[in-house]
Amino acid sequence: MMEGILEGVSTALSTYNIMMVAIGCFAGTFIGMLPGLGPISAIALMIPITYGMDPASGLILIAGVYYGAIFGGSTSSILINAPGVAGTVATSFDGYPMAKQGHAGKALAIAAYSSFTGGTIAAVFLLFAAPALAKVSLSFQSSDYFALMVLGLTAVAAFAGKGKFLKAAIMTLFGLMLATVGTDGDTGVSRYTFGNMDLIDGISFLLLAMASFALSEALMSVIENKKMSKEEEKALKTNIGSLKLTKAEVKEMAPVVGRSSVLGFFVGVLPGAGSTIASFLAYGMERSLASAKDKLKFGKGSIKGLAAPESANNAACSGSFVPLLTLGIPGSGTTAVILGALLSYGIQPGPTLYTDEPALFWSVIVSMYIGNIVLLVLNLPLIPYIAKLLAMPKQILTPLVIFFSLVGVYLITFNTFDIYMMVIFSVVAVMLRLIDYPMAPMILGFILGKMMENNLRRALTISDGSLNFLWERPITATILALTIIMLLFPLISQYFSAKIVAEEDR
């Protein structure tokens, strides 16, 4: 293990890779700051650039973009109350009021220090958790993987939010269906190609990700015709104030950051949960732990209220890499896109990644930590200047985002059919967004579709076509039992919330 870590450290610390982390953090911060464009869009936009690089550098750049996008989302949450990502919504609860009180610099500093600490604690956890889980998962068989994928997809639907369970479920199925387009890898039979040669290789994941996120988001901004409010413009023009924190403030946020980081990491490891749930849980936890006096400050610029979601969402980002790197199963839309990138580099993440590609495995973990340092040392002092980019007029920015999305996909295949297909998918995505259907479950379903089918085929072949494989192995049975609990989760939570409302009414 030590040898692998050292190899990873030397890979991550090469000048070229440090430069990649820095570029990734900057690009991610900028893209993440733009309302609507979150880490998925940021990563999708950067993937075409990474194709010419070696996998380790490509993945390091992507990890930097991921962190940068989360940080960028926090910045727009704090400065203009427009979270770029769902994971930073909770940040705006106290970050924006603090900025309104003239302490934007302080709020940004708290966010950066909390993110840094959250990321650091999570990186240490990841250092131990990932190899441990990789070792355990070496004993996993096809049936277990199949069950894990079902669990992951169900969890995404279960955590989709109130009243969105079925919407997320049907979107997952939609993604799974799209994944079957093209030649079946096992039998060589073409499916749903309708005689079109351009569909023989199936739909590219990058095309789908770009169309359903970056492109559809840009189209939505065209349709919605939203202009920056005077208040937002003013906020961007005013000085953000000092970035310094007092000793008392550091003392106040230290335990909060510690607790929230641990919570965030474990929530991030869970499939489907991700940074949004982690940040809300941490915010809720801190509010209930706070004294009656402190509780009143929540929502009005509380340091604790800002530090908790920031450390939790960053820790959850690192946590979400655990199932991705060790099991090859993404737990969120973002990690699904990263998995897609890995697969296109020819790398299959899973338990053997740790032994087969130690340099890649460890360099990604180490680069996450470097990414945190870059965000703190370089991005934080530069944030007042990066934030000015937010003032860039939409009429210039939107056509550029659309151009980069189209060209990013076109440059991979040089096939204009891909551009037409992107347009179709983006129009469908816009229609689905208008009726509140989430896109992330579709990407997750799409990425997992082929793997799921292959594992099901293997499991069925081993068990001679019998469905006994679902309960014969304890691991499979346990995972499937968890899946059933997840399926019941919306009903259970509905029951409890109804009970709470009834008690409050009494």
Partner 1 sequence: MTKNRIGSLFFLIFSATYFYYSFDIRIMQVGYIEVMTARTFPYYLGVLGISVSILMLILSFVKFDVDDIFDFEKFKTFDFKKGLYFVLAMLFYGYTIRTLGFIIATIIFLIIGFKILEERNLKIIIFTSFGVSIVFWLLLTQVLGVYMAQGMIFDQLIGVQK
When asked if residue 488 is in the footprint of partner 1 (CB under 8 A), the reply is no
Q: Which is nearer to partner 1, 42 or 422 (CB)?
A: 422
The distance of closest approach from Cβ of residue 187 to partner 1 in the complex, given in angstroms and rounded to an integer, is 5
CA distance 236 to 473: 58
Alpha-carbon torsion, ordered 179, 24, 57, 265, to 10 deg: -70
List b or e across 326-357, with b for residues whose CB sees 16 or more CB atoms inside 10 angstroms. Answer: bbbbbbbbbbbbbbbbbbbbebebbbebbeeb
User: What is the torsional sign of CA 184, 189, 195, 200?
Assistant: positive
Report residue 160 as tokens.
């989709």
What string marks each residue from 44 to 83 as x (binds partner 1 by CB under 8 A) or -?
Answer: --------x-------------------------------
The distance of closest approach from Cβ of residue 420 to partner 1 in the complex, given in angstroms and rounded to an integer, is 5
140, 205, 369, 437: residue in contact with partner 1 (rule CB under 8 A): 437
89, 373, 460, 470: residue in contact with partner 1 (rule CB under 8 A): 460
Stretches 14-22, 113-121, 167-175, 351-359: which one binds partner 1 (CB under 8 A)? 167-175
386-415 binders of partner 1 (CB under 8 A)? 393-396, 398-400, 402-403, 406-407, 410-411, 414
Give, rounded to a whole angstrom, the gap between the first and last alpha carbons of the chain: 59
When asked if residue 236 is in the footprint of partner 1 (CB under 8 A), the reply is no
321 neighbors 364 (Cβ within 8 angstroms): yes
Q: How far is CA 81 from the centre of its chain?
A: 20
User: What is the torsional sign of CA 373, 300, 30, 220?
Assistant: positive
List b or e across 44-64, with b for residues whose CB sees 16 or more CB atoms inside 10 angstroms. Answer: bbbbbbbeebebbbbbbbbbb
225, 239, 246, 288: residue in contact with partner 1 (rule CB under 8 A): 225
2, 15, 189, 506: residue in contact with partner 1 (rule CB under 8 A): 189
Report residue 394 as tokens.
């939409």
CA distance 251 to 249: 5
When asked if residue 191 is in the footprint of partner 1 (CB under 8 A), the reply is yes
The distance of closest approach from Cβ of residue 298 to partner 1 in the complex, given in angstroms and rounded to an integer, is 25
What string marks each residue from 116 to 155 as x (binds partner 1 by CB under 8 A) or -?
Answer: ----------------------------------------
Residue 183 β-bridge partners: 190
When asked if residue 436 is in the footprint of partner 1 (CB under 8 A), the reply is yes
Catalog residues that contact partner 1 under the rule CB under 8 A. Answer: 52, 163, 166-167, 169-170, 173-174, 176-177, 180, 184, 186-189, 191-192, 219, 222-225, 393-396, 398-400, 402-403, 406-407, 410-411, 414, 416, 419-420, 422-423, 427, 430-432, 434-437, 453, 456-457, 460-461, 464-465
